Structure 1
Amino acid sequence: MVTHVQPSDDYFHRDTMSADPFWNESAWFPFYVAERDLSGFVYMNHRPNMNFSMTGVALWDPSGENMWDCIYHDWHEFAPLDLQSDTEMFDYTTPNGLSVSCLEPLKAFSLQYDRDGVRFDLRFDATMDVANSGFPDGSEEWGPHHYEQGGRITGTVEVNNEEIAVDCGSNRDHSWGPRLYKDNPRGDFPWFNDGKGFALQMYNASDLPRDTDPITGTTEKAITGWIQRDGKVANIVQGSRTVLERRADGVPWRLAIEGIDELGRTVRAEGRCKNVLKWVPWARYLQFWSLCEWTLDDGSVQYGEAIEWFPGIQARKFLRSIPVEKRTYR
C-alpha cells in the first residue's frame, strides 16, 4: 500500500510500472440525483502495457437494472491508449466520446461525455485530502496501491432531450499495480458523502470460505475505510456490514453498517437501496451497484451507494439457488 499520496500519484506511475501485461491503473467518479433515484458513473481501467483502456459511463434508475436496459450504458472495452503521447491517467479522450481532464492534481477533475444524444458536463472538486486505508486482507488482486478521496460533483447530464442538474457528494478512487482476478473474495463498498465535510467509506470483504459463505444475512468483518467529520479524517479500525433484506432476485435491498475509527468515533446507519445496476464489467465478476439512502442513528439521512460484488462462480451458485421465476425482479 502506498504510504504517502502525492500529486504525482494522479498520473501514470511510469517510473515504477512493471512490465507485467496486467498492470492496471483504474479510477471511478460516481454521482447521483437523489430526488430522481438516478445514479451514474465515469469509470476507467487503463492497461498501459497492453496499450488500451476499458472505460465508459452509465446512467440508471428504477426503470432499468441491466446494462442493456438501463437509461444509458457505454462501456468501451478496447479504447486505444498511447503512452508515447500526452495521454495521462486523468487526461485522455476515447473514441466513444469520453474526455477526462485533471484540472489540479488531488483537487479537481473535468468529466465530459458526448455520444448518442447523451451528454455529461461534470466537475469533481475534492472536499478532503486523499485517504489511503488500503484493501482488506485477501483483496490484494485489486492492486497493491490504492487511495480514495471524498468530494463533490456538480454540472449537468443530458439524456432523452432533458438536461438534469447534478450536485452531490462523491467518492473517487485510484488503484494501480498488476490486476488479474483469480480468487478475490465477495465484498461490498458502502459509502455516503454530503459533499460538505461529512462522509464515510467502507470496504467490506467476506471472511468466510467461499464454498460455505451463506451470503444471505451475512455480516462481513474484513474491513477498511475512513470517516470524515468535524474537519478530521481517520481510518476505520472496527466495523461490520450486514444485509438485512434481499429482494427475491438476490439483490441486497436493506443493509446495516457500523464503523468505528481511530479517534473512537462511531457511525451506524441503515441503508435502503433505491435502484440497482446489475453490472458485469469483467467476465469473472457480477456487481449489484445501488444508490443508497442511509439513515443514521440520530435520524439524519445521507446519500451514497452500496456496491456488492461476487466472483463469478460464487454468483452463479447463489443465483441458481433462487427459483427461476424469482430471478428477474419487476
Structure 2
Amino acid sequence: MEREQLLQLLAELLVTHSPPGDEREMDALLLPRFRESCAEVRQDPAGNIIGRIPGRTREGAIQVQAHKDELGLIIKRIDADGKIQARPLGGCVPWKYGEGPIDLLGPEGPIPAVLCVGSTHTSAETTRVQSARTGPLTWENVYLDAKLSREELAARGIRIGSRAVMSRQRKAPLVLGDYVCGWGLDDKGAVAIMLGVMERLAPLSGDLPVDVYFAATSEEEVAAASGPFVAARIPADTLIALEVGPVADEYANANSAQPVIWYQDAFHTYNKALCDGFMSLAETLGFGAQPVVYSTAGTDASAARRYGQVGSIACLAFPVENSHGYEIAHIEGMCNTARLLEAFLRSPGVNR
C-alpha cells in the first residue's frame, strides 16, 4: 500500500459517520468495495460486512477484522428547552472533544449542534460550569444544543436513543509531513489498510495459499461483541485484528514507521508464536515492528479469544498518539502495517 492510496481512502472514510448502532454511511461506502475485491460478500444480522477471497484450500483459513464503527454519543434526555443530555458510546470523554460542532443523526441526515459547557464568566452559582472548572470534565457537565425545541427535534427524528458524533466539518484528515491526523483513525485507518490489502490480493483469487475472510465489524467500541459473533461463524481458526497501537512512555513504543504487534491487552494474551512470526516477518521486510503489552485496551480478536470463539489470535496495528481523540498516525507506519499483513497472507504457513 502506498501513501497516495492510503490518504485517498482516509479522505473518504474519516468523514463518514458510524457511531455504534448507526453505521449506515460506512456500510454504503464499504459494501461496493468489498464486492469489487471478494468472491463472496454478505452482511450478517449483527451488521458486520464479510467478504471471502478464496485460496487453494479452505483448510487453515484466516480471518482479518477491522471495526467500522467510531466513538459516539447516545441521547439520554431532551429537556423542554431542547438542550440534550448524552451518554458515551465507547471510551470517549468530553475533554477530548472540547466545545464545538457535533452532528445529531436523524433519519434524513445529520442535524448540526454544539457541545457546550457554558459561559466562563460565571460564579459558583452556575453549578455546571463550576463543576467543570474545579474537577474533571464529565458528560454530566456538558450538553448538546441544536437551537431547536424538543418538539422540533422530534419532528426531525431526534429522540432518546438517537446517536450523535463529531461534526463532519471537523473530520477531514490533516497531513503534517510524515503524519496524518484526524478523528476516528481508530479504526477507520485500519479499515483503509484492510481495503488496500483486499484490492492487492483480489487478482490472486483462487491462488492464495488458503481462504482469507475479511470482516468490517460493527459496534467494537461498545464491548467488542460483534467481532466474536463473526469469529464463531467463519470457518477460520486464526483471527488477525487490525487496530491502532496507542503510543505512550509506559509501553516503550514510538509513533514511527514501525507497525505495532500486540502481545497482551486487558481482554487476553495473543498467540506468542504468531506474534513472533510477525516480528520476524517485519524484520525480513526491512522495517521491523514494535512489540507492546497493553494494560487497558482490547480488540475484536482478544474478545473473541476470551469468549472461546477462535483458536489463534494476533493484532497488527499502526502507532497513534492521542488515542480516542484527535489521533496522529505515522503514514509510513500505516503503509508498513498493510505491507506486513499482505506478506503474511501471501505465505501464512511460513509465519505461524
TM-score by structure 2 length?
0.28
Q: Larger strand proportion, structure 1 or 2?
A: 1
Instruction: Kindly name which structure, 1 or 2, has the bigger radius of gyration based on alpha carbons.
Output: 2
TM-score, length-scaled by structure 1? 0.29
More helix by share: 2
